[in-house]
Amino acid sequence: MIHFPRLAALVLAIIVLFFPVSAEAASSSSIGRAASESELIGKDFSGQSLLGSEFSNANLEQTNFSDADLRSAVFSGSVLTKANLHGADFSNGIAYLVDFRGADLSDAVFADAIMLRSRFEDTDITGADFSDAVLDGVQVRKLCATATGVNSKTGVDTRESLGCR
């Protein structure tokens, strides 16, 4: 009986090492994979809870995400030109290689989001909160040129959240 815990740990270790269970990533929604590109262009997701959703390599041009809960969502390699993210919460999200040209990001929350290699030309960021978000330095400088306002949910000044000088 004294050696039972050690024996049980050894048996468990052998099982895990020799009979591993395959790990599969799961998200709360696989919208990006389940729908064809044509079904996503211009779609209305306004006000919806899309917590942890994945939109990888998706064409989301002119899609409406206003006031949506996009916390921990993934938009890697996606096109969001002229998309509406007004008031959306994209905290802890990933937007790697995303085209936000002409998008409305006003009053949205991007706190702790990873947004590397994304493009923001002609993007409305009035009142957006980028606190602790990770963006390319070149894009931050471009965003600082037009950054104004205070986020209505967090009370954070857009320029301060971007570290503008």
For the chain, give every domain's residue range. 37-160
Identity (one letter) of the amino acid at 118? S
- 11, pLDDT greater than 80: no
| Mean pLDDT to the nearest integer, 76-105 | 97
The predicted pLDDT at position 149 comes to 98
Distance from the Cα of residue 154 to its chain's centroid: 18
- Supply the pTM of this predicted model: 0.77
Secondary element (H or E) of residue 33: helix 31-34
Predicted confidence band of residue 19 (pLDDT cuts 50, 70, 90): low
Statement: 37-160 belongs to CATH 2.160.20.80? yes
pLDDT digits (tens, 9 = 90+) for 26-37: 344 444 444 445
The type of residue at 56 is S
Q: Are 94 and 114 in contact (CB under 8 A)?
A: yes
Instruction: Tell me which residue has tokens 């971007």.
Output: 162
Enter the tokens of residue 139: 């894009």
